Amino acid sequence: MHCYDCHSLEGTATPVLATCVHCGAGLCAAHANATPHSVHRVTGTGTALQPTAARRILCTTCHKAQSHQLS
């Protein structure tokens, strides 16, 4: 399997390292956006250690769409 974003954006075939949880597209390291499942924006000294935050891998498109929704 090859990275969907590399293929659609650049026409190149890059081996897949992860999969977008939202749309299921295969992603290379450059296009995989790993985000914590529960987003707590920590400002300041950053002393708040989160217990285990689940990880979500999103493609660039889904990552943009989600951050757009949240803001």
Report the residue number, 24 or 39, with the smaller CB distance to Zn ion: 24
Q: Contacting Zn ion (CB under 5 A), which of 17, 22, 65, 66?
A: 22
When binding is defined by CB under 5 A, the residue of 16, 18, 28, 57 that contacts Zn ion is 28
Task: Compute the C-alpha angle 18/36/16, nearest 5°.
Answer: 5
Q: Which residue from 16, 18, 57, 62 is in contact with Zn ion, where contact means CB under 5 A? A: 62
DSSP per-residue string spanning 11-69: ----B--EE-TTT--EE-TTT-EEEESS-----TT-----SPPPEEEE-HHHHHHHHHH
Please count the residues of this chain forming the interface with Zn ion, following the rule CB under 5 A.
13
Stretch that binds Zn ion, among 9-17, 37-45, 48-56 (CB under 5 A): 9-17
Q: Does 18 bind Zn ion (CB under 5 A)?
A: no
